[in-house]
């Protein structure tokens, strides 16, 4: 098979075609892993060094430091430093609890100078070579962070109009970001709202379908009208809403969370003809506590069940967080490059010492 560029490889997969090799990318790689593998270098250095097929970025937002652990961002969301690299919203300081609060709140200006400077840098470096993703939220995470988890859960039942207003304001902002990104040359929009835990969706499937799904579908429709593909991310068990997500028009789904009971082979067999699949080398165990041999075997297992027929990206089961061992992540990427070549060699992909 003729060798593709990394961008061609990813674009083939999102159209559910067979590329020359199973591609790899992550929606997030924490800086300790980046710095360890690049000897103090940058995310862009890592992309080049490991020959990763796509690069991810979002809009840039300023924040004000409150203390050593706390910031408040342009959305008015107060965040505390968590155990990992990313900060966690402080629900006790959630800025919107009532319609009056919403009247006094407004989203950041999507057209602010510098908002997409990182994207512009990546386009200059990688346009036409690697797939370029623009990251935004979709319909769940902004209401969650602006209202706080518990208050949002209650408001979904008691104040659905307030929740809807927040959803629409967030969508208007994100559509403006994506429209600019598409014009600049981004290839795919990636939305990363976690709508489920290990058991099921965080709200009932009926509540998702009635309150959130119509706006989610509208958002995806707008992306497609801009000429840009869409990849949806969520942790957890999505089985009760998979049909809803796919019916909304998503082009890709990530990460087929094994901790949420999501089975890669089952998802591939059931939905692989309708949506591109991404996942799922376990980043909670294998990439943290595993061995080089166990990582290679898990990569082979993922490619063995999800690679046939194309439409598959091999990646971690969520992201490359700070707890991932850098050498194991490097092993995973190298194994994908070795065992993911099409036509797939099923003999090489068989489990070692298979009984």
Q: Is the pLDDT of residue 83 over 90?
A: no
The pLDDT of residue 264 is 96
Q: What is the mean pLDDT of residues 121-136?
A: 98
DSSP annotation of 308 reads T
Half-sphere exposure of 40 (CA within 13 A, CB side): 0
> By percentage, how much of the chain surpasses pLDDT 90?
94
User: 316 - beta bridge partners?
Assistant: 281
pLDDT tens per residue, range 35-46: 999 999 999 999
Q: What is the mean pLDDT of residues 106-110?
A: 97
Q: Between 326-339 and 31-38, two packed helices, what is the crossing angle to 10 degrees? A: 70
Cα–Cα distance, 20 to 5 (Å, whole number) = 9
pTM: 0.95
Q: Is the pLDDT of residue 171 over 80?
A: yes
Asked if omega into 280 is within 30° of 0 (cis), the reply is yes
CA distances from 253 to 185, 191, 234, 332 (A): 22, 10, 8, 20
User: What kind and span of H or E run contains 287?
Assistant: helix 286-289
Average pLDDT of the residues of the chain: 96
Quick one: which of 160, 156, 152, 236 has its CA closest to 199? 236
Report, in this order, helix, strand and coil percent for the chain, each rounded to 5: 45, 15, 40
The pLDDT of residue 86 is 82
The pLDDT of residue 353 is 56
Strand locations in 124-171, DSSP E?
A: 131-136
SS3 159: coil
Cα 112 off chain centre by: 24
For residue 257 the two structure tokens come to: 């969370």
The pLDDT of residue 85 is 78
pLDDT tens per residue, range 259-309: 899 999 999 999 999 999 999 999 999 999 999 999 999 999 999 999 999
The pLDDT of residue 334 is 98
Side by side, the strands of the sheet bearing 78-81 are: 63-65, 70-73, 78-81, 87-89
CA distances from 216 to 109, 257, 290, 306 (A): 22, 21, 37, 27
SS3 268: helix
Residue 78 CB contacts under 8 Å (≥ 6 apart), including other chains = 66, 70, 71, 72, 89, 90, 93
Cβ(296)–Cβ(272) below 8 Å: no
pLDDT tens per residue, range 201-245: 999 999 999 999 999 999 999 999 999 999 999 999 999 999 999
Cα–Cα distance, 291 to 334 (Å, whole number) = 14
Quick one: which of 116, 33, 53 has its CA closest to 43? 33
Q: Is the pLDDT of residue 355 over 50?
A: no
Q: What is the mean pLDDT of residues 320-343?
A: 97
pLDDT tens per residue, range 144-156: 999 999 999 999 9
């Amino acid at each position: 098979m003729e060798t593709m560029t990394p961008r061609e490889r990813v674009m083939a997969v999102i159209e559910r075609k067979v590329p020359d090799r199973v591609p790899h990318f992550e929606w997030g790689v924490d800086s300790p892993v980046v710095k360890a593998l690049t000897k103090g270098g940058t995310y862009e250095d890592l992309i080049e060094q490991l020959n990763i097929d796509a690069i991810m970025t979002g809009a840039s937002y300023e924040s004000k430091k409150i203390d050593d652990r706390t910031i408040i961002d342009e959305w008015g969301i107060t965040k505390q430093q968590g155990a990992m690299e990313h900060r966690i919203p402080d629900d006790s300081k959630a800025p919107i609890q009532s319609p009056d609060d919403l009247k006094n709140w407004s989203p950041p200006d999507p057209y602010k100078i510098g908002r997409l400077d990182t994207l512009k840098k990546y386009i200059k470096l990688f346009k036409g070579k690697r797939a370029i993703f623009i990251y935004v939220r979709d319909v769940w995470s902004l209401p969650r962070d602006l209202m706080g988890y518990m208050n949002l859960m209650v408001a979904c039942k008691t104040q659905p109009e307030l929740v809807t207003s927040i959803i629409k304001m967030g969508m208007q902002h994100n559509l403006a970001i994506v429209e600019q990104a598409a014009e600049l040359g981004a290839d795919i929009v990636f939305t990363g709202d976690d709508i489920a835990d290990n058991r099921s969706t965080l709200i009932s499937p009926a509540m998702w379908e009635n309150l959130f799904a119509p706006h989610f579908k509208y958002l995806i429709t707008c992306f497609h009208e801009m000429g840009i593909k869409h990849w949806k991310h969520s942790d957890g068990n999505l089985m009760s809403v998979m049909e809803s997500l796919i019916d909304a028009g998503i082009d890709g789904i990530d990460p087929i969370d094994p901790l949420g009971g999501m089975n890669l082979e089952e998802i591939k067999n059931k939905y692989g003809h309708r949506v591109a699949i991404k996942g799922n080398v376990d980043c909670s165990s294998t990439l943290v506590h595993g061995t080089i041999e166990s990582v290679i075997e898990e990569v082979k297992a993922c490619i063995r069940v999800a690679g046939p027929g194309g439409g598959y990206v091999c990646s971690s089961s969520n992201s490359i967080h700070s707890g991932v061992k850098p050498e194991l992540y490097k092993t995973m990427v190298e194994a994908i490059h070795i065992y993911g070549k099409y036509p797939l060699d099923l003999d090489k992909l068989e489990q070692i010492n298979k009984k």
